[in-house]
Amino acid sequence: MYSDLTVKTEQDKVIELMCQILELNENSEQVVTQVVKEKGVKGFFNTLEDLDIDGDELERVVALKLVIETKEQAIAAMEGGRSYAN
């Protein structure tokens, strides 16, 4: 019983949350959305140098990447060294 509204995928929800957290402008949000849909979240974070977004916004993206990597390393250490990066 779905209406004509599009059901959001998990990826759509992650992209939306990420753009909100990063406080991206509309153009940057479109760039990020396109890259994440093409390359996935991990691929997105591995190709930051190719992003055509404002410098301040890029700094926030890099900071988010660092937070995610740091948390991932902490989780891996707690789980006995398993890493999900790369």
Please state the domain extents for the chain.
Answer: 10-45+54-78
Instruction: Work out the angle between the directed axes of helices 26-46 and 10-22 (0-180°, nearest 10).
Output: 110
- Residue 49 is predicted with a pLDDT of 86
Which pair of structure tokens corresponds to residue 29? 């949000």
> Can you give the pLDDT at residue 76?
87
Task: Say what the pLDDT of residue 26 is.
Answer: 94
pLDDT at residue 79 in the model = 84
For the chain, how many residues are written? Answer: 86
Q: Dig out the tokens for 21 from the structure.
A: 């957290």
pLDDT of res. 6: 66
Low-confidence ranges of the chain (pLDDT < 50): 1-4
Instruction: Check: pTM over 0.85? Answer yes or no.
Output: no
Q: Give me the half-sphere count of Cα atoms (radius 13 Å) on the Cβ side of residue 39.
A: 17
Q: What is the pLDDT of residue 4?
A: 47
CA distances from 45 to 6, 31, 53 (A): 27, 13, 14
